[in-house]
Each structure stands twice: as C-alpha cells, then as structure tokens.
Amino acid sequence: MGRKKMLIVGVLLLLGVGFVGTGEIRAQRFPDRPIQLIVPWGPGGPSDLVARVVGDQLGKELKTPVAILNKPGAGGALGAAAAAQAKKDGYTLMVTTQAFYVTAILQPKEVSYDIETTFEPLGRVVETSAVVQVKNSAPWKNLSELLTHIKKNPKKLSCATSPTGTIPHFVWMRLNSLGYETNGVVVQNDPEGISYLSGGHVDFLILSVNPTAPYLMDKSFRGLAVTTEKRVKQFPDIQTFADAGFPDIGSFPTFVAFYAPAGTPKPVVDTLTAALERAMKDPGVLERLEKMRYSAEYLSAAAFNETVKRFVSHVKEMAEKAGIIK
Amino acid sequence: MEALSGLLNGFHIVFNPVNLFVCFVGCVLGTLVGVLPGLGPTSAISLLLPITFRADPVSAIIMLAGIYYGAMYGGSTTSILVNIPGEAASVVTCFDGYPMAQKGRAGPALGISAFGSFVAGTAAVFGLAFFAPALSKVAIRFGPAENVGIIVLSLTLLAFLAQGSMIRALMMAVLGLILGTVGTDLITGKARFNYGIGTLADGIGLIPFVVGLFGVGEVLLNLETSIQREILKTGLKGLFPSLKDWKASTFPMIRATVLGFFLGILPGIGAIIPTFVSYSVEKRLSKHPEKFGTGIIEGVAGPETANNAAAGAAFIPMFSLGIPPNAVLAVLLGALMIHGVQPGPQFISGHPDLFWGVVASMYVGNIMLLILNLPLVPLWVQILRVPYSLLFALILLFCLIGTYTVSNNPGDIVVMVVFGFVGYLIKKYRYEVGPLILAFVLGPILEKNIRQALIISRGSFVVFVTHPISVVFFVITLLLLAFPLVKRRKKGAGPGPTLPREVS
C-alpha cells in the first residue's frame, strides 16, 4: 500500500514538473492557441486591411489562426489601452499606424500608454504616402505653381485635410507655418475629402494616396507632390517635396506596424518577428498590398525604432510650434 | 442599350449556384442582424471578411451587399413587435408600428414593411443600374453649403414630429443637440464634454444611445406597468394587410421611395434622416395628422420604404465614384480593396462583371428577402405570445450583445444603461423621443457643415445665399415655416383646420 502510494505520487510529481515546464519549453511550443490582433481602428481602415492581409499570412507561418479584434475610439487610444492590459504572452498583439505616436504627443492626457515603454515594436510592415492634389481642371500644373499662388494670395484658397493628428493635417500645418497660408477644411473621412475636391468645393486636397488612387489614375485629380521621402511606386510622376524644389517642407511617413506589449518574453518576440518577416516575403501578401497601393517593406524593430525616433522628434517640434499639444 | 446588356450579363453571373447561394446567405444573415437590436451590418460584414478572402470578389461582394440591404428589411421587426429598433434606421418605425401591434395589427404592419422595403429596394437597384453615373454627378454638387440647406430643412421638419406638447418636443430637440456636442470637435481636434472618459472621446455612440433609449428604456417602463402587456395575447385582427391598408400605403410608399432615394445618394446623410423626413412629410400631407403615433399604416409604410431606398441609393456614390457614403459601405470598400479592386470613377467600365453581377444580385436579393420576410410574419407575431417576464430578459440580453459588438468596448454598455434610464424617464413622463434622436443625429452634421462652409468662404455667411442649391432648400424651409401662419390668418383666429373625424 505504502509503496503503491509513493509510486503514484512520484508519477504525478513527474507529470506536474512536465506540465509546469520552464520558460524555454513554453516558448518552443508557442503558439499553441490562436493569436489575436487588436486593431485600434474601425474595420475597413488601413490598419485593419493591412492587419487582415498580413495577419492571415502570419497565421500560416505560425500555424495558428489569427483573428482581428477592432477596438476603435479616441484616435487609437482605446485599442492601445486594451492591448497594453493584455497578458504579455504573445497571444495578443496590436497593429496600428503612426497615429499611435501622434495621438500620444498631441493629447498626452487622453492616452494611458507611453510610446517608449508600453509596447515593443515587432516591425513595420507597410508605408504609405499622402498626396497634395488638385482637380485636373485647376490651373496649377505643379507644386511650385500652387505654392506661388498661395504665397501671393494668403488665406484665399481652401484645402481639405483629414482630421487633426493625421499626416495630411500636419502637412497642411507645416505649409502654413512656412508662409503658405490656406484655409484648412477638416473633413470627417476620406470619402468626404474626395467628394469635396471632386465637386469643386475646395481648391486642393491633402489626403492619403490609397483612397484617392482611382482618381489619380484616371487623371481626374492631379497629384502635385507626395509627402514621403521616396516617390510612390504606382505613381512615379508625382514628385516628392524635395524633387519639386521644396526640401524644407520635410517628409511625413505614414506607416503600419505590429506591436507586442512590452515585457513579452524574448523567445516569443523572436518567434513573432521571424514569422512576421517571413510573412512579409510571401509573394501573395506583397501582391495584395501593392494592389492596395501600400509600399510593402518590412523594417525590423531596430531599424524601425530609428525611423520612429526621428518621426517623433519631428512631430513634437511641429506640434509645439503650432501650439496644438493639449 | 449598354446598360441593358450589362444587366443581362449580370443576371447570367448571378444565376449560378454559388452566387445564388451566397446571395441567399447574405440576405438571411442581413435580416437576422437587422432584427437583433444593436447588432448591425458593420459587425456582420467585418466578421465575415476573412471568409471572403478565399472567395472571388463577385461572390464576396454579393454576400456582403446582401447583408447590408437585408438588415434594412429586418430592422423593422423588433420596432413593431417590442418598440425596440433593430437598426438605428428603424427608430421611426416604432412610432406607429408598435401602437399598431398593440392594437393587434402587428401582422399588417410587418407585411407592409416587407413589401415597402421590396418596392424601395427594387426601385433603388433600378436607379443604380441605369442612372448611376448621372446621379452621382448630382451628388457631387453637394458641398458643405448645400448640406447645410438640407439639414436646416430636415430640422424644421422636426416640428411636424411633435405629437403632444410642442414645448416638450422642442425641449427634447435641444437636449439632442446638446448631447450631440459630446465628443472630439472635428475642426479643432479638441475634446468636448467627455470628461476624460475614453468611450465618449468620439461622442456618444449612436447605437448605444438608441438601444439604450428604446431597448433598455422600454423594458424598464414595461416592467413598471407589467399588467397591460397581456392585452397583446388576444385579438390578432388578421395577419396580412387589408385592402384598405394597401390603398392607404400606396402614395406614402411612392413618396418615400423618391425621398429616400435622393437623400440616400448624398454622402453624409445616411439612412436615419430619410426615415424621419418621410414620416414628417407623410404626417404633413395626411388628412388625419393627429392619428400619427396612434398606430396607422402610413406611419410604417413611409419610413420603412425610405430606409430601404436610401440603403440601395447609397451604392450609387459607392460604385460610380468610389465614395462610400456611410460606415457600412466603407467596410465593403475595404473588402473590395483586399480583393484588389478599388471602386472609383472607372469602376463600372473597368470591372463590368463585378458591377453588373452585384446589381443583378440586388434584384434577386430583394425578391429573396420579400419571400423570406412575408411568410415569416406569422412566425414573428408568435413572439408576442411569449410572456413578458421571459421576453424582457432575452431582449436585454440581445441589446447587450448587440451594443457590445459595435466597437467591442465595455464603455458602450455603460452608455446604453445610462440612456436606458433616461429613456425610461422620457417615456414615463411622455416626452418625445423622436425629436431627441433627430436633433442628436442632425446637430453634429449641421455644425460640421456650417463650419466647413464658413472656412471655405472665409467667414462670410453670404455663401449660403450664393450657392443655388442651398438657396432652394432655405426657401423651401421658409415656405414651410410661413405656410401654417398664412393658413391660420386666412381662416381667421381658429387654432387650425378642423377635420371630419374618421371612423377606422
């Protein structure tokens, strides 16, 4: 009786040790459950679409289902807060845009996360650009003509942009601060901006290239400049600010990146980043992203952090100058 | 005619087993999602997006589109049966639909709803098929100044909504305007009245607001007066609309189709506003306006037809310009983009199979929905026989689930409950919910458009007079406001025209 009992206890102990395991063993079995991607924006937006396309492939690489959970609100702050509170086990990640940083800089009181410490970037997956565009019937054939006109007629022209905190809005503010003053008409969403320019209700538009692409392609809108350092692949004719002769306007990247809550174990993070990098090499994913007119280039966490540092200091400087930090 | 051949091609695409099946699935899901309060087509479409990855674009969009217009069919069911709108656009159906159910006429209400939805849906598809490019050019002409004209006119129609005391209706309207200011101001980016609460940073959500006011509020009110509910068990006066109902509904349906269609084309208007406008118009034109709110068929036929017309018309700017006029179609646009298709000015000519396939599927879908919904009427009516002590728990559960699915935000639930209590108080003390909701929806839109118009005009109010479309709407508004005064002066000092009492 005594010996049998000891045997049973011994076996149970052994099994117990096996189950508890060490961190190393857990990581090797990661992932063994579906992974959830929190997107702090509504369905159909850029982060949502990119998260779906890339997340789908990520799931294939990790051999586990990947599900999207939309948690929109407060400029991405609500979803970020939810992701920050998730367990740091690598099963809950966040996919968001540069607004993650911008919202925190502009409204530090409304956000509950810290851009440096709350999350650990896994990598940037796509970059996209905004375009300064006019209707094709407009008299300005290039950026220089438009800006010259604006300088001569300050505060006469109207410019439609996306809401405060977005890249188009920053570009508009930057132009204003450089002496090219226009009346900024903030539109609630991209379709509204397109509709206003199309109907001739505003003089020019600064909006992301993705929703406006069909108009740029069939030439009903004329793109005068892109806001990034490099030109947009699908529209090689649209100059950058530097090409157009205005390098001091600067460059404003829009990007989508994957994040894990800071404190996630390193082996898990490594698995995730490796899988993400592999996913971003898949030709199917690249094709899909290119068709949606995103520049699909994986940037590893280290390189991405460099870009982010510059971006954040740029934004901070502009925001302080314009006095829009609350 | 090129359109005709395109359409025939479209039918050819639709009539294959896969596409017919997904169309059916979309319609069923749409109806279901429309019936459940709070749960809306946006949630359903985004949940199904991953599944459509593997499918080809035509089938994917046929199904997702089916969910969208199907939801407009289902939304009226709970409005009529339990006074809780299944969709925000079905709020107005509650005003007369529920009293009809209380009088034992739930069947005719549901039947006319389904049929009106069918008429409107079919007419909208017709418009989409043949007039999309021309109509979208009209839609583009509406900039901020023009939108202000329409909204001011719509707000004036608010006055016609009032059933009882005008003072109470106006108080509710002002409350709606105040509540509409909560959130982040668009133009300056500053947060207003959200007191640091993240959930309110983007404003009081429409779904939590409506579901709270109508759903939770209604349940709370009924729990207080539980005895009267038993009346509904008896006296079901026929399950289908009578000939009299059909006659009375014909012109409202025609007017609502036209109204809903043209308002639905305009980006930024949505499906709620056409329903309110239709209701007000029908009340204004009716020979017995005082009966509105007591349960007459015109009060159901108009709004239900209008919201389906608006939903169908919303596809026009979506497909011919690539401009989705509301959040649901924006998600649909996203689905198209994932498939590598981006609607824009060249969409119809560049992707004829996709466009005509979807258009043809909408014809088929509307017929499917009619066949689905009409025979279901007796089934739905059985719900009324469930004892309220069981029903209310289920209702609350669905409201809870539906509201949460909007943004996966527990804060929305709190909003819903708070407005549940507000709704209880409003209904108990006989204040008007209609003006509250209309003002809540219109206020922010009006503010946004006025400010945008003034930014463009550099502060000059003259802009509202120099834009022709805007002037037209303002003139109509002034006429509407002046007309009753003129009428009263002509008839002497009477309180208004007296009408012969009709026996119904």
Q: What is the pLDDT of residues B411-437, one digit of tens each?
A: 999 999 999 999 999 999 989 888 999
- Over residues A216-229, the pLDDT tens digits come to 998 999 999 999 98
Which residues on A lie below 8 Å from B191 (Cβ)?
107, 110, 326
Containing H/E element for B262?
A: helix B243-265
Range among A107-111, A130-134, A165-169, B477-481 with highest mean pLDDT value: A130-134
Cα-Cα-Cα-Cα dihedral sign, residues A32, A33, A38, A43? positive
Distance CA(B296)–CA(B361), nearest Å, equals 33
pLDDT at B235: 44
Q: Chain A interface, mutation test: which of B46, B68, B332, B449, most A Cβ atoms within 10 Å?
A: B46
pLDDT at B230: 44
Contact map slice: A 126-155 vs B, CB within 8 A: 155
pLDDT at A125: 95
Residue A93 has pLDDT above 90, yes or no: yes
pTM greater than 0.95 (yes/no): no
Chain B: nearest CA to A94, how far in angstroms? 15
Instruction: Answer yes or no: do B346 and A48 touch at CB < 8 A.
Output: no
Instruction: Answer yes or no: do A70 and B187 touch at CB < 8 A.
Output: no
- Over residues A154-195, the pLDDT tens digits come to 999 999 999 988 899 989 988 998 899 999 999 999 999 999
Instruction: Answer yes or no: do A43 and B324 touch at CB < 8 A.
Output: no
Residue type, B407: S
> Which of A49, A191, A199 minimises the CB distance to B338?
A49
Distance CA(B273)–CA(B310), nearest Å, equals 9
Instruction: Answer yes or no: do B322 and A211 touch at CB < 8 A.
Output: yes
Which residues on B lie below 8 Å from A105 (Cβ)?
none
> Which of B191, B346, B408 minimises the CB distance to A110?
B191
Chain A: nearest CA to B243, how far in angstroms? 45
Distances, alpha carbon B424 to alpha carbons A63, B433, B436, B439, in Å: 51, 11, 14, 19
Residue type, B403: T
Distance CA(B326)–CA(B271), nearest Å, equals 9
Q: Chain B interface, mutation test: which of A112, A182, A195, most B Cβ atoms within 10 Å?
A: A195
Distance CA(B283)–CA(B161), nearest Å, equals 8
Pull the structure tokens for residue A35. Answer: 């992974």
pLDDT at B48: 87
Instruction: Answer yes or no: do A163 and B409 touch at CB < 8 A.
Output: no
Contact pairs from chain A to chain B, CB under 8 Å: 160
Is the minimum CB–CB distance between A74 and chain B shorter than 8 Å?
yes
pLDDT at A17: 62
pLDDT at A177: 87
Distance CA(B464)–CA(B462), nearest Å, equals 5
Pull the structure tokens for residue B227. Answer: 């005895």
pLDDT at B346: 84
Contact map slice: A 266-305 vs B, CB within 8 A: 288, 291-292
Instruction: Answer yes or no: do B408 and A292 touch at CB < 8 A.
Output: no
Composition of chain B by helix, strand, coil, percent to 5: 75, 0, 20
Rg of chain A in Å (alpha carbons) = 24
pLDDT at A280: 94
Contact map slice: A 108-127 vs B, CB within 8 A: 109-110
pLDDT band at residue A324, thresholds of 50, 70 and 90? low
* Helices of type H across B181-216: 206-210
Chain A: nearest CA to B1, how far in angstroms? 25
Distance CA(A319)–CA(A325), nearest Å, equals 6
pLDDT at B496: 47
- Over residues B29-68, the pLDDT tens digits come to 999 888 888 888 888 888 888 887 778 889 999 999 999 9
pLDDT band at residue A120, thresholds of 50, 70 and 90? very high
Query: Which are the contacts of A263, defined by CB distance < 8 A and separation ≥ 6?
Result: A88, A120
- Over residues A37-57, the pLDDT tens digits come to 999 998 888 999 999 999 999
* Helices of type H across B266-326: 272-285, 298-313, 315-321
Instruction: Answer yes or no: do B198 and A78 touch at CB < 8 A.
Output: yes
Chain A: nearest CA to B453, how far in angstroms? 8
State in Å, rounded, how far the first CA of chain A is from the last one: 74
Which residue of chain A comes nearest to B267, CA vs CA? A192
Mean pLDDT of all residues in chain A?
Answer: 89
Give the burial class of B224: count Cβ atoms within 10 A of its Cβ; 0-12 exposed, 13-18 middle, 19 or more buried: exposed
> Which of A75, A155, A218 minimises the CB distance to B344?
A218
Give the burial class of B158: count Cβ atoms within 10 A of its Cβ; 0-12 exposed, 13-18 middle, 19 or more buried: buried
Q: Chain B interface, mutation test: which of A66, A157, A192, most B Cβ atoms within 10 Å?
A: A192
Which residues on A lie below 8 Å from B331 (Cβ)?
42-44
Distance CA(A183)–CA(B458), nearest Å, equals 8
Which residues on B lie below 8 Å from A81 (Cβ)?
198
For residue B142, which phi and psi values (nearest 5 degrees)? -90, 100
- Over residues A142-157, the pLDDT tens digits come to 999 999 999 999 999 9
Query: Which are the contacts of B500, defined by CB distance < 8 A and separation ≥ 6?
Result: none
pLDDT band at residue A15, thresholds of 50, 70 and 90? confident
Residue type, B300: V
Which residues on A lie below 8 Å from B184 (Cβ)?
74-75
> Which of A43, A196, A215 minimises the CB distance to B345?
A215
Per-residue pLDDT of chain B (504 residues; tens, 9 = 90+): 678 888 888 898 889 899 999 999 999 999 988 888 888 888 888 888 888 777 888 999 999 999 998 998 888 888 998 888 988 889 999 999 999 888 888 888 999 999 999 999 999 999 998 888 888 888 889 999 999 999 999 888 877 777 778 899 999 999 999 999 999 888 888 889 988 888 888 899 999 999 999 989 989 988 887 645 544 444 445 677 888 888 889 999 999 999 999 999 888 777 889 999 999 989 888 888 888 888 899 999 999 999 999 999 999 999 988 888 888 898 899 888 888 888 888 888 888 889 999 999 999 999 999 988 888 888 887 877 788 888 889 889 999 998 998 889 999 999 999 999 999 999 999 898 889 999 999 999 999 999 999 999 998 899 998 999 999 999 999 988 887 777 777 765 545 455 444 444
